[in-house]
Every structure is written in C-alpha cells, then in structure tokens.
Chain A
Amino acid sequence: MTSSPTPTATTTPTAPAPPTAPAPPAPGATAPPGRHDLVVNVTGLRCRECGRTEDLGASHVCGWCFGPLEVAYDEEVVAARVSRDRIASGPSTLWRYGDLLPVLRDEPDDRIDLGAGFTPLRPAPRLAAHLGLRELWLKDDTRNPSGSFKDRVVTVALSAARALGIDTIACASTGNLANAVAAHAAAAGMPAYVFIPHDLERGKVVGSAVYGANVVAVDGTYDDVNRLCAEVADRRGWGFVNVNLRAFYAEGSKTIGFEIAEQLGWQLPDHVVGPLASGAMFTKIHRAFGDLQRHGLLDTAELPRMSGAQATGCSPIAEAFERGSLDVRPQRPDTIARSLAIGDPADGYYALQVAEQTGGAIGHVADAEVVAGIRLLARTEGLFAETAGGVTVANLVRFVEQGVVGRDERVVAVVSGNGYKTVEALDGTAGPTHRTTPSLTDFLGMLHD
C-alpha cells in the first residue's frame, strides 16, 4: 500500500513541531517496528440519547430508551497517552491512532490488521482547475486491502469481537462491507456470514466469496437485509459488525478524519465532502476532528464544514435536508450507486445535524451524473472510483456551482471505494476507443482517418 503521510505539494503546510508538553512514558518506543503498544481505554458502552451506561459487550441498543450505544472511553487514559509523537511512531495503518480507538485487550498482536487505513491524501490540481477550486485533496480510500473504507471499520470491529470472545462474525452489506468482513475473517481464521442483496455487482459478490465466507444473498433490498440481520443477531449470538458490534465498528471511520488532519500537518481543511449511505462515516469524520481538537493535537481551531453526497435514486438524507427537517423518511432505493443504496439510513438523523451545525449541505445527483463523476475523476486525476466516488465528485461539482463549496476553500473529497468493484456502472461508456488489425499500416491509417 502506498501512503503519503505528509503531502509534498506546495500548498501543504509544513508539519509543525510536536507539542512541547512532555509525553508520558511510551512503551511503544522500545517495541519492534510496526508495534504500537496500547492500553485498555474503554470503560463500557453509553447511550447516545439518554446517557445511560452498559457493560462492554456485543450490544447496540440502549436497554432503556432504544437509543444507539456508543463506546465510552476512559478519557483520562486517552488524554494521558495520545500525542503526535506516539502517532508518528505507530504503524503505517490506522492503528497508529490506537490510543483514540476502542482497545479492549492490551495486546497489539491480537489486532486483526490487514493494513487498513493511512491511505494517501492526494492533491488534485487538475480536478481543482476543472472545478475552479483553489485547493482540492482526495482522500484515496480505494487503496485499502479490500478496496474500500470498510476495511477501517472492520479491523476495529473484528479486533473488538475477538477480545469479547465472539467466534462467528457477520454483517449486513451493500457489498463493500461484505468484502472487508470476508477478507479480515479469513485472515483471522474466523467463520463469517455476509448478508447481501441478491442483485449486487458481480465484483462485490466474488470479492466476498473468494475469501471463503458464507455469502447469504437475500431476496430484497439492503434495508430488508439489515432488518433480517438485526433479527438474526438477536437470536444467534454472532457478531454482526454493523449491528451488535456497531459501537466499535463506527469508531473505525474516525480514522479518515485523523489521517486528513495528520496528512495536512495537523491542520484541518475548510470543507469535507463525502458520501452518505447510513451516514455513520460522515458523522464520525466530524467527531474525529473534535477528538483531535479536544486533545490539543491540532494547530487550527475551526472545524471544517461537512457536506454529504447522495444519489437521487436513494436520497432520504438529502430530501430531509431540503425540507429543513431532521426527520428522515425512508425510501425504496433505485440507483446504480449500490454501496449508497440505504433507504432507511441508520445515522441519517445525526448526519443531518452535522451538516446543519457545520454550515454544510447534503445534495443528490442523478445516475448519469454519477457516471460522469467517475469519468471526470479518472480522467483528471488518474483515480478510478466506484459509484460512491462518482456520487461524491458529481455532488462536489454541484456544490461548487451552487456556492455551497467556496472556490477559495481548502477542500477534501473522500473517495471511499475502488472502481474495479463496479465496472457495470460504466457499461456502454468506457470501452475500446479504436479497433485495428495487427498491421502497422492499418493502425497508422486508422489514426489518420
């Protein structure tokens, strides 16, 4: 995996010196390269809505109010250990931020780490020029082990699952998560059940089955799959990474935010544009910036504006945003952007709050624009994104035209998955451009035609 921890483009600020406060003793300093010792930094689970706490376990629902459970950190432990130095001395994966992630057992070797995260933050001057933007960066999560940002959430969730003694892992997926769960479970030697809509792109089906996972194709939409999995999780005791392990899983998405900040020299961008499916990744990037700020790791005070991208054929969060409401009305998805086709987004309510609080927006684009977005990104920056990336770029185009994204802002666009997973989306629009015989004469003649 290629990483660019500190971009070298002229627009990149010089990385400032580490904080002057003395760092606590860091056992990691004497650990072998790639090791990053951790301590148990989680006290339990806490309800996002009513604040009640529960013991650590595979549980996602508050027993009192049904609100979502989140990881409750031991803030003193986190604050005493986290520093820029410890991050810099960590591995070139998202586990360099281990002090800010839920760690249930103090044994780095127990982590299930295929190398997810610490993906390049690439300057995108040609796309910026096309859009009329001063400064644009691409968070290139196509580079993850199974080709999408879902490897981030899975490495965190599976490591927690193993610490909790769970032996069978599962997920409800639109495809990318299934790929990530199957890959990590294979490497960990854990049996896996991945539940997917029956009509997913072939690359995503093969990209799960090849790892030996049980691939359960469900006759229904992702929302049907999700509901089934919620009921199965309640009966079987399996660890569903995005159901009963969701408190841990969602924390993995924070690392996109951590990396953006570190890769910009502990500065933040002015505006982040990212795709919205459940809305969890979007909200966690925002939370990550707040975590860094709270722990004094940033050189900037302002948090970025956050804008979200959906496809028109599945735009329940954008529709609520247009109404000025936090009440997300579920939709029946019909879009080529299958990885974003969640009609009843789990975290839509929170994503709306983030967009509103930060002065961002949530937009949607038609499928034809999604394809155009994929092609634009590929042609200008040499980056082949899956449909979700097309959604993000196409919405960015709109946001610039509408003035939602300012032309003088420092903008980061999150490209969450690899285009080779969804080649069907380009059927009829990307193929051979010339045809010739093996004859040199014929080829040269064809060029002159």
Chain B
Amino acid sequence: MPTVRVPTPLRKLTDGRPEVTVDGADLREVVTNLEAAHPGFGERLLDQDGRLRRFVNVFVRDEDVRFQAGLDTAIDEDDTVSIVPAVAGGAA
C-alpha cells in the first residue's frame, strides 16, 4: 500500500502521525481515500475546481507531480507520496 508523508500542518488530521498508508492507483484516488480515512484532507489539498491548491506541492517517487501527470500520476504499491507545502514568503 502506498505511503503518504504528511506535513506538520496536516498532522492534526492523522492524529499526529507523519506517515499514513492508503490505497490508490493514481494520485486522485489516493487523495480520495485519504479524505475517506482522514476527513479534511480533500479540502486542504484541492481547490473548488478539484485542482491541487497553489501552495501545495506533491511529489511521487521524489518527483514533482507537475512534471508527471498531475492528479492522474500513477501510484504503485510501494510508492511514497510526499505532501510538501510550497516555500514562499515574498510579498506583492
């Protein structure tokens, strides 16, 4: 089952656990199953149009999913999915 690394701001949804495992053949399914197992993930990761939020980066096999197939990126049984808040801090 794929492993999902959870950043600190989201660990309140996983009872403090930094990693959880959920099923899913692609990233979209993983997010859906995360939401089912730990309610709250869906709205934190996806915007109203169902896309990954601007300040959320997701890496599968250590590769940014924006260089792969986005939410359609295929996930294998032993893959690791890392959710990493974007690092920003400038100001307009």
Contact = CB atoms under 8 A, between A and B. Distances in A.
Interface of A: 48-49, 60-63, 65-70, 223-224, 226-227, 230-231, 234-235, 242-243, 246-247, 249-250, 278-280, 282-284, 286-287, 329-330, 332, 344, 346-347, 349-351, 353-354, 357
B36 interface: no
A66 B53 contact: yes
A246 B89 contact: yes
Given A227-B59, A330-B67, A60 B9 contact: no
Nearest to A328: B54
A89 B7 CA distance: 45
A351 B92 CA distance: 7
Contacts, number: 107
Interface in B40-92: 44, 53-57, 59, 62, 64, 66-67, 82, 84-92
B69 to A, nearest CB: 14
Contact of B90 (A235, A347, A357): A347
B89 A69 contact: yes
Nearest to A253: B90
Given A223-B64, A227-B57, A330-B67, A347 B85 contact: no
Interface residues of B, number: 26
Contacts of A246: 87-89
The 3 closest A-B CB pairs, nearest first, are A347-B90, A283-B90, A246-B89
A350 B87 contact: no
Contact of B64 (A65, A282, A330): A330
B11 to A, nearest CB: 9
Given A66-B56, A246-B89, A247-B89, A227 B66 contact: no
Contacts of A250: 89-91
B83 to A, nearest CB: 10
Contacts of B54: 349
Given A68-B87, A227-B59, 8 more contacts: A61-B8, A66-B9, A66-B44, A68-B55, A68-B89, A226-B87, A287-B90, A330-B66
A283 B64 contact: no
A234 B89 contact: no
Interface string B1-27: 000010111000000001000000000
Interface of B: 5, 7-9, 18, 44, 53-57, 59, 62, 64, 66-67, 82, 84-92
Nearest to B86: A346
Contacts of B64: 223, 227, 330, 344
A62 to B, nearest CB: 8
B92 A234 contact: no
Contacts of A61: 7-9, 55, 85
Nearest to A287: B91
Nearest to A357: B92
B63 to A, nearest CB: 9
A346 B90 contact: yes
A396 to B, nearest CB: 22
B89 A280 contact: yes
Contacts of A282: 90
A350 B90 contact: yes
Most B CB within 10 A of own CB, among A66, A224, A242 = A66
Contacts of A48: 88-89, 91
- Interface centre among B9, B53, B88, by most chain A C-beta atoms within 10 angstroms, is B88
A351 B90 contact: yes
